[in-house]
Chains A and B, each alone.
Chain A
Amino acid sequence: MNNNVVLLPILIPFLTAIILMFAPKKIIFQRTVSLLGLLVALGVSISLMMTVQQEGPQTLTFGSWPVPFGITMVSDMVSVLLVTTTLLLTIFIVWYSFSSIGKEREQFYYYAGIMFIITGINGAFTTGDIFNLFVFFEVFLMSSYLLIVLGGEKKQLQGSIHYLLINIISSGLFVITVAFLYSVVGTLSMADIAQKVATLEQPAILTTIAVLFLIVFGLKAAIFPLFFWLPRAYAAAPTPVLALFGALLTKVGVYAIMRTYTLIFIHDQSFTHELLMILGIGTILFGCIGALAYFDVTKIIIYNIVIAVGIILIGVSQMNTAGVEGAMYYIVHDMLIKAALFMLGGTIIALTGTANLRKMGGLMKRYPVFGWTYLVAAFSLAGIPPLSGFIGKLLIVQGGFEANNPWMSIVILLSSLVVLLSVIRIFIYAFWGEEQPATISISQTTYQRQLLPTIVLVAITVAYGVGAEAIAPYMADAGETLLNPAIYINAVTGGE
């Protein structure tokens, strides 16, 4: 029953962070140890994924306590896939940081901050206890406060105050909601809550709590109409930090909605899941408006995060195999491609010295490899068939038609056009046209050192799209776990 390996993808980054705290000034030490820690954790989590595939969900209840009384960690296919993706893309972000974040930040607990953020995110993906989920949310939020403000530029201070305020309010709401839920069901373990909720015959208070959770996690995940803080806050962060946030932080909120809405609140779907779908469509629409409205590289990609959040949530809200499986495909794809896009966008800004599309041009002549990499990433984001965004969106659209929500599927298809237009606009403005006499602020070697991790990451997303067949069994497993809460509950309680 108890399998300690479940905990290692959380413990290894945590331990790495502690070791990094002992010698903050030694940059070589910081770089090697953080990369080494991530590689080991990735290896462990891949082997964990194999175990989960063969033997079903793995669990661990702390301190040898019996199940509803101790904190349980659960690695089912959903969480182990997300944990592995997190570790994989963090390796590339750390690698990219070597050449882009700057010595001063590196000497002030930058890598320790990244390791703590990974600890929190992996913990939030793995935990099976609703209050423990809150604690892990705080772990990664506190580290993200450090990362967003580290460096102390005026822009960062302005952005971080928005970010801090909104997250403190939503965390307060989280605690209140957990208190409500606890007073109704009297337990905190998610599997136990799911069992108790099933026997309660859905009183109105549970629907209220479901909506409160949607507000809490929606604030973290930036769904409509709670996404207002995200563009300003994220635009303040330096590139590698932005890549980390854009790829991971909103996805934890999405995962939390996914988990609660497929495990706990499944007894009044005509209201809760309908609401989720409507908010998802609103999220897509407003994301599209934002992505078209700006002439700023960072802002365009930031609004693409909002669109992706909407698409994933709509997939989950269908509650059929195609929709949920599509959401799993899409969330993993989106984490990888967003990290890659922010890294590419950061290099564009570093090369041209500006984020304004109108002031750049002609990069294709000097940097052809970079241009083609960007084009592949852009097509992949829009979901052009052999690439990674395709299969997820296809399944979600199929799920929409199967669940008799054709309008929703049409919105998703139209949003893909907008996504394509918004990222191709970056390509046209930055890479085509006359070469601008812009101040090139980074040297050729720095450019090459930034390009390498980006190319490898884009290559991985291409492999993810082309090799979709190879990961299909994992995704099918994940979809099945989400749709049958009994699998999760039995894994935790041992079938009692």
Chain B
Amino acid sequence: MKTNDVILQFTAKIVFFIIFLFSIHIFMAGHYTPGGGFVGGLLTASAIVLLILAFDLKTVQTGFNINYRLLVATGLLLAVGTASFPMFVGEPFFTHFYDYFELPFFGNTSLHTAMLFDAGVYLVVVGVTLTIIQSIGEDE
């Protein structure tokens, strides 16, 4: 018997964006409030898992045509790159830099290279979580 998931699928589409935006918020706010790359990444992954539950693995794969293993590698590269950049300007590994910038719309904002490292963590967490879920899900 094939069930009709129209309510689940419709809700999932809307809730996905709410969770995704919340995960971005958590990620961005990590420097001053609880949160950061790890939680943000898990939330993003769980938003995608919600879509997988509502639809199926194939549909979601056509939707997000991402190779999650490459995502892990990219995240690692970003993290290592941020951490090793100071070595080229004569500072010890993992030295971070920050400054205040006048941005349109946001106003006076402090930007910190720790955020780039966090972005790396975020990508790795999303990539690893979805690689695990995909490989177990695809397994016959």
A: residues with CB less than 8 A from B are 2, 4, 7, 11, 14-15, 18, 21-22, 24, 60-64
B interface majority secondary structure: helix
Mark interface residues in B63-87 (1 if CB within 8 Å of A CB, else 0). Answer: 0000001101100110010001001
A14 neighbours in B (Cβ, 8 Å): 80
Q: Is A22 within 8 A of B73, CB to CB?
A: yes
Taken together as a complex, chains A and B put the C-alpha atoms of A64 and B90 apart, in Å, by 11
- Residues on the A chain within 8 Å of B76, using CB: 18, 21
How far apart sit A63 and B80, CA to CA, in the bound complex (Å)?
Answer: 14
Measured in the bound complex, the distance between the Cα atoms of B96 and A231 in whole Å is: 46
Taking A7-B93, A63-B95, A63-B96 as known contacts, 19 extra A-B pairs with beta carbons closer than 8 A to each other, sorted by chain A number, are A4-B87, A7-B87, A11-B80, A11-B84, A11-B93, A14-B80, A18-B76, A18-B80, A21-B72, A21-B76, A22-B73, A60-B93, A61-B92, A62-B95, A63-B92, A63-B94, A64-B91, A64-B92, A64-B95
Contacts of B87 in A (CB 8 A): 4, 7
For the complex, count residues of B whose C-beta is within 8 A of A: 15
**Chain B 87-106, CB within 8 Å of chain A: the 1/0 string?**
10001111110000000000
Of chain B, the residue at the smallest CB distance from A11 is B84
Sorted nearest first, the 5 A-B pairs with minimum C-beta distance are A21-B73, A62-B94, A63-B94, A2-B92, A4-B87
Cα-based distance from A31 to B24 in the complex (angstroms): 39
Instruction: Name B42-72 residues within 8 Å CB distance of A.
Output: 69-70, 72
Known: A18-B73, A21-B73, A22-B73. Contact between A60 and B80, CB under 8 A? no
Report the minimal beta-carbon distance from B139 to chain A, rounded to whole angstroms: 12
Q: Give Cα A14–Cα B76 distance, bound, in whole angstroms.
A: 9
C-alpha spacing A18/B81, complex, angstroms: 11
Q: For A15, give its contact among B70, B80, B94, B95 (CB under 8 Å).
A: B80
What's the A-B contact tally at a CB cutoff of 8 Å?
Answer: 38
Contact A18 B77 (CB under 8 A): yes
Chain B residues lying within 8 Å of A7, measured Cβ to Cβ, are 87, 93
15 A-B residue pairs with Cβ-Cβ distance under 8 Å, sorted by A, are A4-B87, A4-B93, A11-B80, A11-B84, A15-B80, A18-B73, A18-B77, A18-B80, A21-B76, A60-B92, A62-B95, A63-B92, A63-B93, A63-B96, A64-B92
Q: Whole-angstrom distance from the CB of B70 to the nearest CB of chain A?
A: 6
Q: Of residues B73, B87, B91, B96, which shows the largest number of chain A Cβ atoms within 10 Å of its Cβ?
A: B73
Which residues of chain A are within 8 angstroms of B92 by Cβ–Cβ distance? 2, 4, 60-64
Residues of B within 8 A of A11 (CB): 80, 84, 93
- B72: chain A residues at CB < 8 Å are 21
CA distance A11 to B91 in the complex (A): 16
Cβ contact within 8 Å between B93 and A22: no
> In the complex, A11 Cα to B69 Cα: how many Å?
21
Q: Which residue of A lies closest to B90 (CB)?
A: A4
**Across the interface, which residues of A come within 8 angstroms of B93, CB to CB?**
4, 7, 11, 60, 62-63
Collect the chain B residues with CB atoms within 8 Å of residue A62's CB: 92-95
Q: Give the shortest distance, in Å, between B75 (CB) and chain A (any CB).
A: 9
Identify which of B69, B80, B91, B92 gathers the most chain A CB atoms within 10 Å of its CB.
B92
